[in-house]
Amino acid sequence: MRHYEMESYDVIVVGAGHAGCEAGLASARMGARTLVLSIQLDAVALMACNPAIGGTGKGQLVKEIDALGGEMGLVIDKTFIQSRMLNRTKGPAVHSPRAQADKRRYHEEMKAALERQDGLCLKQGEVVDLILEDGRARGVLLRTGAVYRARAVILATGTFLGGRVFMGESTYESGPCGFAPATALAAALRARGLALRRFKTGTPARALARSLHFERMEEQKGDAEIIPFSFMNDAAGENKVSCRLTWTNARTHEIIRDNLTRSSLYGGLIKGVGPRYCPSIEDKVHRFPDRERHGLFIEPEGLSTDEVYIQGMSTSMPEDVQQAFYRSIPGLEDAVFTRAGYSIEYDCIDPLSLYPSLEHKEIAGLFCAGQFNGSSGYEEAAAQGLMAGINAALLVRGAAPFVLDRAEAYIGVLIDDLVTKGVEEPYRMMTARAEYRLTLRQDNADLRLTEKGYAIGLASRERYELYLRAKKETEAEVARLRGTTVRPAEAETFLTERGLAPLTGGISLAELLKRPQVDYAALSALDKDRPALSARTCARVEIQIKYEGYIEKQRLQIERFKRLEDRRLPEDFDYLALAGIRQEAKQRLCKIRPRSVGQAARISGVSPADINVLLIHLKKEERR
């Protein structure tokens, strides 16, 4: 086929899922002429699985994307139909926002954001190969023969790359939701020497809401007080729907066990590795035989459709088995199904082949993001897309990469885990992965990151000024509470009502707020000079004062972490010449080429003893 030259760009993004959208917008907003190519424009920001944004650990990622100047938080605030803050009964370190989305409107709003963005061109086209010159990514080739050149390329192919769907004994090439797969590109990347691996994910059936018996299920309402995802918004609409909770039972499990051999997974057809934290229903029943039931959430897919998503029941069983076990569940006895559940295998790379900037170690100018890097989830994809877009734009400028570490953001934890530890299964963000989660809360993401986003040219001036105002408000109120003293007589009734001992002397409002029985709102009874503050600022002030001791302890831990991160390692460091380090550690260090002693210490297969030898060697070199 004849190839012909088309326009040239600074950055080309391959794929327009959640990673590709954030990558393209970030790149363009930072001044790089950007082309975003989608195999199908109807798949832009596609919610191929559950119609929701956020969740435990994931909500923190969305808030950080927003704080840096990304789009996901703004779009979900416009299109949510139910909002909840998860883990409210626990400490603020694990509070995580989650919202049900109107999936069609989410797609439309995100697509419109790309179409409106200056310096960005969104086009439909199937990329079948990379243009490589002198070991650098220089553009892409489309199926039509069109060649688009660029100074950097971002691969954000999601589950389209080499996609293959499984449903019982049936298997066929396909992308998610029946869209065409990117088969030619998968073959081309292998031919280019990229080591690809096979991962898999799954999705449950969809049913018509009017066919379900909601009265037999437990209602799950949204929060009365809605906390927006975006720091640009003080309010974000209202809840429009309820979700429902129901449970599997002994009959459900019996049907699944009787038909396990008909599952694509247990029938041996699926070879790809699936996510441990989101197993199929047949996997749950097989692996946890003592569990009498598994919870399922019925989630509306939008306001303009009657379809609902049955979360917690992804499957690769054939349709007749699916219908049988779904209808054994309370409330689903007469369910009418619109789409069957399925599993999908796809190609991805080993993220150990990437720098922390998400640039490929062997192909300069090639950045990778999202499920192509072995992660799962819309939020993890969007976070990587944002960082890939930022660093591609910085590469075009000739500027140093922008990297967040584990003490600065959940985004830093996510990328560090991928490029340092690697993955053997699709990676999923959880609060437990962040060792400094008390300081990486969802409520303070703007205070941590907006200044950084503004400095690199991504966050807008408006966003930056909102951040400065919020920072000033919070600091001023904390100082005021520390400087305002209450006398024993003034607090006597207040303390008695809460079962607290009377004061023996004056106490500051800040010290009073540290008591478990006292919250910031209640202090208004003693605080006559309280300024009018936003709910967001009030929450931050309370957390900062109540958890001051724990936050200070974590700050000291972060200082120790930073000392190791600041011990830089040369990229050409000769690990093989180091005496006293085990051979396995040498091989891992040579493969990953850590940029600091701290990163080296997190590599699987590198022991504390190996790190001690490395530190001794560095000290000798410094003395020399």
Looking up residue 535, the CATH number of its domain turns out to be: 1.10.10.1800
Q: What's the token pair of residue 48?
A: 């191929």
Q: Say if CB 173 and CB 184 are below 8 A apart.
A: no
Q: Say if CB 326 and CB 281 are below 8 A apart.
A: no
Q: Say if CB 299 and CB 100 are below 8 A apart.
A: yes
Q: Which of 345, 378, 413 is the last residue of a domain?
A: 345
Q: Tell me, yes or no, whether 67 lies in a domain.
A: yes
Whether 23 and 110 map to the same domain: the answer is: yes
Total number of domains in the chain = 4
Q: Tell me, yes or no, whether 407 lies in a domain.
A: yes
- With tokens 């930073």, the residue in question is 562
| Residue 200 CB-half CA count within 13 A | 24
How far is it, in rounded angstroms, from Cα 322 to Cα 317?
A: 6
Q: Say if CB 122 and CB 100 are below 8 A apart.
A: no
Whether 144 and 254 map to the same domain: the answer is: no
Q: Tell me, yes or no, whether 463 lies in a domain.
A: no
Q: What share of the chain is helix, strand, coil (3-state, %, to 5)?
A: 40, 20, 40
Q: Which H or E run includes 368?
A: strand 366-368
How far is it, in rounded angstroms, from Cα 495 to Cα 518?
A: 9
Looking up residue 615, the CATH number of its domain turns out to be: 1.10.150.570
Crossing angle of helices 535-546 and 548-565, rounded to 10°: 80
Q: Tell me, yes or no, whether 465 lies in a domain.
A: no
Looking up residue 321, the CATH number of its domain turns out to be: 2.40.30.260
Q: What's the token pair of residue 279?
A: 């197993």
Name the pTM for this structure. Answer: 0.95
Q: Which of 522, 554, 586 is the last residue of a domain?
A: 554
How far is it, in rounded angstroms, from Cα 20 to Cα 370?
A: 8
Whether 98 and 146 map to the same domain: the answer is: yes
How far is it, in rounded angstroms, from Cα 174 to Cα 161?
A: 9
Residues 6+ apart with CB under 8 A from 285: 248, 252, 253, 256, 257, 291, 294
Residues 6+ apart with CB under 8 A from 235: 226, 228
Q: What's the token pair of residue 61?
A: 């990622």
Q: What's the token pair of residue 255?
A: 């049907």
Please report the DSSP string for 427-489 in residue order.
B---GGG-TTTTTS-GGGHHHHHHHHHHHTT-S-HHHHHHHHHHHHHHHHHHHHHHH-EE-HH
Helix (H, G, I), strand (E, B) or coil at 524: helix
Whether 291 and 403 map to the same domain: the answer is: no
How far is it, in rounded angstroms, from Cα 100 to Cα 242?
A: 10
Please report, to the nearest 10 degrees, the dihedral formed by the alpha carbons of residues 249, 251, 256, 258 taken in order.
Answer: 150
Whether 247 and 317 map to the same domain: the answer is: yes
How far is it, in rounded angstroms, from Cα 377 to Cα 288?
A: 24
Whether 492 and 533 map to the same domain: the answer is: yes
Helix (H, G, I), strand (E, B) or coil at 123: strand
Rounded (5°) CA angle 253-258-259 = 100
Whether 337 and 350 map to the same domain: the answer is: no
Residue 84's pLDDT is what? 96
How far is it, in rounded angstroms, from Cα 158 to Cα 49?
A: 12
Q: Say if CB 378 and CB 45 are below 8 A apart.
A: no
DSSP state of 328: T
Q: Using a CB cutoff of 8 Å and minimum separation of 24, what contacts does 448-454 make? A: 448/64, 448/67, 448/408, 448/409, 449/64, 449/67, 449/68, 449/404, 449/408, 449/409, 450/67, 450/68, 450/69, 450/231, 452/68, 452/402, 452/404, 453/67, 453/68, 453/69, 454/69
Residues 6+ apart with CB under 8 A from 290: none
Q: Amino acid identity of 414?
A: L
Please report the DSSP string for 529-569 in residue order.
TPPP--HHHHHHHHHHHHTHHHHHHHHHHHHHHHHHHTSB-
Helix (H, G, I), strand (E, B) or coil at 404: coil
Helix (H, G, I), strand (E, B) or coil at 220: strand
Residue 502's pLDDT is what? 85
Q: Say if CB 334 and CB 209 are below 8 A apart.
A: no
Whether 56 and 81 map to the same domain: the answer is: yes
Q: Tell me, yes or no, whether 116 lies in a domain.
A: yes
Averages of pLDDT over each 10 residues, the chain, 624 residues: 94 98 98 98 96 97 98 98 95 96 98 98 98 96 98 97 95 95 96 93 96 97 95 90 97 96 87 81 91 96 97 95 97 97 96 97 97 96 98 98 97 97 94 95 97 98 96 95 89 84 88 90 87 91 94 94 90 85 89 90 90 86 78
Q: Say if CB 62 and CB 446 are below 8 A apart.
A: no
Give me the domain span that covers residue 518.
471-554
Whether 372 and 223 map to the same domain: the answer is: no
Q: What's the token pair of residue 131?
A: 């243009």
Q: Which H or E run includes 7?
A: strand 4-14
Q: Tell me, yes or no, whether 461 lies in a domain.
A: no
Residue 266's pLDDT is what? 84
Q: Which of 345, 364, 379 is the last residue of a domain?
A: 345
Crossing angle of helices 445-455 and 58-68, rounded to 10°: 40
Q: Say if CB 374 and CB 418 are below 8 A apart.
A: yes
How far is it, in rounded angstroms, from Cα 296 to Cα 335?
A: 14
Helix (H, G, I), strand (E, B) or coil at 3: coil
Whether 497 and 610 map to the same domain: the answer is: no
Whether 189 and 65 map to the same domain: the answer is: yes
Rounded (5°) CA angle 96-79-278 = 45
Whether 211 and 197 map to the same domain: the answer is: no
Q: Tell me, yes or no, whether 560 lies in a domain.
A: no
Of 21, 29, 94, which Cα lies nearest the Cα of 56? 94
